[in-house]
């Protein structure tokens, strides 16, 4: 990565209102080229989405940063991530919190991301092949929940798995986008939310593809 590439990326993050220095340092030091196909390695530091396997994509760094900053992750937090994808967002989260539990519906992505995260030394991550609409009830409650794909509305199962005082960041809206980025806060069993502007994410799948099994 050249100094010019990093300057462009840091400027893009600043333009998106990313002021959390701890977060920008994590983005600077997380090797994004390791999370994209080799053919796109030269574009890895550009603030653009890039294709990965199973017809999915890795979000631009600015979108990852916006969603992560909104999550306000404490360093002792237990975080649920819906949509492991390539594992890039997972890697960012793992450096900010105590433990990340990450669900992925596509078996090839789940397998590749699990191997990649282990090889790169992100040891506080637990991955699982599973349905992103149901969350991970066995490991609930969570201090923070984030989804890397969009929903038509906030799944009740996810909000139910939030700890009191917890935050959840979701993209809500039509599958074709754009969606509204929303932050949900749980306090004394009451959930309130506020909007943080628009974003465009792929829709969350509701079931595993044929031939896949949850392990």
Residue 37: CB atoms within 10 A of its CB come to: 14
- The percent of the chain in helix, strand and coil, each rounded to the nearest 5, is 35, 30, 40
Active site residue 59: yes
- Beta strand 142-151 with 190-199 is unpaired
Which of 59, 94, 102, 150 is catalytic? The answer is 59
Which residues does residue 134 pair with via DSSP β-bridges, in sequence order?
none
Is 213 within a domain? no
Is 209 within a domain? no
Is 184 within a domain? yes
- Supply the pLDDT for residue 208: 42
Extract the residue ranges of the chain whose pLDDT is less than 50.
208-215
Is 208 within a domain? no
C-alpha span between 122 and 100 (Å, rounded): 10
- Strands (DSSP E) contained in the chain are 50-51, 57-58, 78-82, 99-104, 125-129, 142-151, 162-172, 179-187, 190-199
pTM confidence score: 0.92
* Tens-place pLDDT, residues 112-164: 999 999 999 999 999 999 988 899 999 999 999 999 999 999 999 999 999 99
Is 130 within a domain? yes
- Supply the pLDDT for residue 206: 63
Number of structural domains the chain divides into = 1
Q: Find the domain containing 40 and state its range.
A: 3-199
- Supply the pLDDT for residue 37: 95
Q: Helix crossing, 61-71 with 3-15: angle to 10°?
A: 50
**In whole angstroms, what separates CA 39 from the centre of its chain?**
23
C-alpha span between 136 and 11 (Å, rounded): 36
- Supply the pLDDT for residue 116: 98
Is 174 within a domain? yes
Q: Provide the Cα torsion 196, 131, 205, 45; round to 10°.
A: 60
Which residues does residue 168 pair with via DSSP β-bridges, in sequence order?
145, 184
Is 145 within a domain? yes
Q: Mention every residue, 6+ apart, whose C-beta is less than 8 A from residue 129.
A: 103, 104, 105, 107, 110, 208, 212, 213, 214, 215
Both tokens assigned to 152:
């038509």
């Amino acid at each position: 990565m050249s100094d010019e590439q990093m300057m462009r990326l840091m400027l893009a993050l600043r333009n998106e209102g990313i002021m959390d220095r701890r977060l920008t340092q994590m983005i600077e030091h997380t090797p994004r080229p390791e999370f994209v196909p080799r053919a796109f390695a030269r574009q890895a530091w550009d603030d653009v989405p890039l294709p990965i396997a199973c017809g999915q994509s890795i979000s631009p760094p600015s979108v990852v940063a916006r969603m992560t900053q909104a999550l306000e992750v404490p360093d002792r937090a237990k975080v649920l991530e819906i949509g492991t994808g390539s594992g890039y967002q997972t890697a960012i989260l793992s450096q900010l919190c105590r433990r990340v539990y990450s669900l992925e519906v596509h078996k090839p992505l789940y397998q590749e991301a699990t191997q990649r995260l282990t090889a790169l030394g992100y040891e506080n991550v637990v991955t699982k092949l599973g349905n992103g609409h149901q969350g991970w009830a066995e490991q609930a409650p969570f201090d923070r929940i984030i989804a890397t794909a969009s929903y038509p509305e906030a799944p009740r199962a996810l909000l139910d798995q939030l700890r009191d005082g917890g935050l959840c960041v979701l993209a809500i809206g039509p599958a074709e986008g754009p969606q509204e980025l929303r932050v949900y806060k749980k306090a004394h069993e009451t959930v309130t939310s506020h909007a943080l502007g628009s974003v465009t994410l792929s829709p969350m799948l509701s079931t595993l593809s044929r031939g896949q099994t949850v392990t």
